[in-house]
Structure 1
Amino acid sequence: MADDREVLREVWEGRIPVAFHLAEDEVASEQPEPFYLLVSRQTYITLVADKVQKHFKKFTATDEDDEVWFEYKGIPLKWHYPFGVLFDLYAHDITLPWNITLHFKNFPEDDLLHCKSKEVIEAHYMSSLKEADVLKHKGQIINNMQERDHKQLWTGLQNDKFDQFWTTNRRLMERTNNEPFKHIPFKIYQEDRMFIQKLFKPNTDEGEPLTLDHLLKDTLPDIFQNGGADQFRVLIQGIEGPRETPVQWLSEHLSHPDNFMHICVIRKPPIESEL
């Protein structure tokens, strides 16, 4: 099981400084000052939407039924991706704070899922958590939990309470009979593409541990088997670690609260040649 508590806490404490701005074409009076927040990498952007919306509401003319949404450089930000994944995917190389634009109007129906209440976020989160446990333990752990355990996971995430969350989540990260997970719950993200997920075991049939490098070569062979690996950064929780790290350890320690390991594969900018 995940037993290095200091690693777990350091990952949990990851924060991104953000400057939220109201879309210029939605300002009713004078342009308001940005709204600054330290946002947890583990949360969903819609969980901080209330604070941001409340700050800017008086500066724009909107209907109460309007659904807010966020964008960065013209890219609508998918609320069902963990916030840290959005940052790693689109803004990992910027000078902080991360400037994000809030919109009250013109919801991009073709790009974003609707999310008009925190119940929608909770339902998505619990669905992901159950899917991850099916991959790891055939669903046996999550199905044996009581409703109050599910609520403790959700409220621990929602309220940013490490101890409350991990008191229950440690059961989902335990190995059954000291065996590794059946499969590793992971998703791989690349800019302008749908994420990739597939079945991947943490060990070979002979019991040898498989590494992040094995996973990348299996999932993205065009990049990682054909000499192109040096052109990409691989970020998990904002960390570019050794690709020789066993995926079982990564899954236990660097997964997001939904129990998935979210991996961003980012193309490095071209190196400018010296004149």
Structure 2
Amino acid sequence: DIKILRDIPTKFIFLLVKFVVFQMKRHFLRYISQENADNEMWLDYNGQPLKWHYPIGFLYDLFCGHDPQLPWTLTVHFTKFPEDIILHCPNKDIVEAHYMSTVKEADVLKHRGQVMSTMQKKDHNQLWLGLQNDKFDQFWAINRRLMESHSDNDGFKHIPVRIYSDDGACNQRLVSPKNSDGSRKVLQQMITELYPDKPDVKLRTHGITLPTDTPLQWLSEHMSYPDNFLHLCLC
């Protein structure tokens, strides 16, 4: 096991854990025995394995949001893979398939899947490669189409949002960006709907405790991760 002590580079905040693992593995091979060199590498924070399909910035919010600390200390492992917690991911093709599946799910929620279904394969490739290679303009040229409203009511059909408790349990429900009277729904109204017994719940993303009067449509357009989901932590 190897400790990592470092600040989090800005470009990594939005990436999935597995991106960083693939980039780091070659560096750490010099420190491990040859018999473990082909083993799948994984990371943990304070004994908690980090799931590779989550954005790094979200995981930092989840585990360090109550007590932010930099550099973030992680441990690298090449043995004792926690199969009951983390799915195996031997190559980047699996990461790409998972990412594209999540983007398509978000598009179904927002646009009934109409945006992704009209894109060509080259558009999907550009979206993926722009993210993988940290080329924002390349990525945003495609992703901006997923962030636009395509209906007369000036809003998404539903908001792609996942809310996580401290233990990592995920709560995902159908959430409309509008109230029954057509007014824009704000964060506090969503909290009241999802947590009627906890009206004082606060939510955090990107290191920010969100104002409860923030419109959900605005949050989805401006605070979603590259997978097009809002990843919010209870706090």
Asked if TM exceeds 0.5, the reply is: yes
Q: Distance in 2 between matches of 1:38 and 1:103?
A: 21
State the Cα deviation string for residues 190-212 of structure 1 (Å, max 9, x = none).
11142010111101232100011
Large movers: runs of 4+ above 4 Å: 33-37
Establish whether residue 265 from structure 1 lines up as the match of residue 234 from structure 2.
yes
**Structure 1 segment 203-218 matched on structure 2, within 5 A:** 203-218=178-193
Structure-1 residue corresponding to 2:9: 38
Q: CA deviation at 1:35?
A: 6.7
TM-superposed CA distance for 1:66, in Å, is: 0.7
Taking the TM superposition and a 5 Å limit, the aligned residue runs for 1:23-172 are 38=9, 40-61=12-33, 62-92=35-65, 93-172=67-146
The 1-side partners of 2:8 and 2:176 are apart by: 39
Q: What is the percent sequence identity of the aligned residues?
A: 46
Shift of 1:241: 2.6
CA distance in 2, matches of 1:50, 1:126: 19
What are the superposed Cα offsets for residues 60-87 of structure 1, whole Å, 9 maximum, x if unpaired?
1143431111000010011111111100
TM-aligned CA deviation for residue 234 of structure 1: 1.6
For the 8 Å contact 2:5–2:71, the answer to whether it is kept is: no
Instruction: Determine helix, strand or coil for the equivalent of 2:57.
Output: helix
- Give 1:156 shift: 1.2
For the aligned residue pairs, the C-alpha RMSD in angstroms reads: 1.7
Unaligned runs of 5+ in 1: 1-20, 24-32, 267-275
CA pair 193-98 structure 1, distance change in 2 beyond 3 A = closer
Corresponding residue number in structure 1 for 2:171: 196
Normalising by structure 2, report the TM-score: 0.92
- Aligned partner of 1:188: which letter? I
Q: Which amino acid aligns with 2:29?
A: K
Q: What secondary structure sits across from 1:221 in the alignment?
A: coil
User: 2: CA distance between counterparts of 1:254 and 1:243?
Assistant: 14
Q: CA 1:251 to 1:36, structure 2 compared with 1: closer, same or farther past 3 Å?
A: closer
Q: If the length of structure 1 is used for normalisation, what is the TM-score?
A: 0.79
For the residues of structure 1 that align with 2:105 and 2:228, how far apart are their CA atoms?
9
Q: Which residue of 238, 248, 256 maps to 2:207? A: 238
The one-letter amino acid of 2:21's match is A
